[in-house]
Amino acid sequence: MTLHSSRPDARTDLLHGTLDMLILQTLQWGPQHGYAIGRTIRAQSSDVLQVEAGSLYPALQRLAKRGWVTSKWGQTEANQRAKFYRLTPEGKKQLLREESRWTELVNAISRIMKPGVMPATEE
């Protein structure tokens, strides 16, 4: 279930993977800059998930390295210079894969935590 990595930090892949999935999900609706991504995740999770810059930016770089997002400097509506991240077609496919994996995981955990109750499927 973990992503394959030649790096020794494979232990944290589950968490990384989840954050990566959240970022990809956020970018689904169009290009956004780093700060906005963090703000969106926080807002949509009703302030439960606070993504720190220290996790967000390395995650963005990881996604860029894998070719799932691309980045480009641009202007915000407030006329601020910012780097915008955009989902690539490859990234879209990855998002679908992550979603199904996530659903599977949630279902499995739910079955353990609340035996007998069928979990609600996402969306």
| 7 belongs to the binding site for other proteins (CB under 8 A) | yes
| 35 belongs to the binding site for other proteins (CB under 8 A) | yes
Among residues 64 and 106, whose Cβ is nearest to other proteins? 64
Cα separation, 32 vs 105, in Å, equals 28
Q: What angle do CA 31, 71, 21 make, to 5 degrees?
A: 65
Among 65, 89, 115, 122, binds other proteins (CB under 8 A): 65
Helices 89-113 and 53-66, interaxial angle, to 10°? 120
Cα separation, 79 vs 22, in Å, equals 27
Among residues 85 and 95, whose Cβ is nearest to other proteins? 85
Strands (E), 1-123: 32-33, 69-75, 81-87
Among 47, 52, 122, 123, binds other proteins (CB under 8 A): 52
- DSSP conformation class of 88: -
Among residues 75 and 100, whose Cβ is nearest to other proteins? 75
Neighbours of 77 (CB within 10 A): 5
Among residues 61 and 100, whose Cβ is nearest to other proteins? 61
| 67 belongs to the binding site for other proteins (CB under 8 A) | no
Q: Interface with other proteins by CB under 8 A: which residues?
A: 6-7, 33-36, 52-54, 57-58, 61-62, 65, 76, 78, 80-83
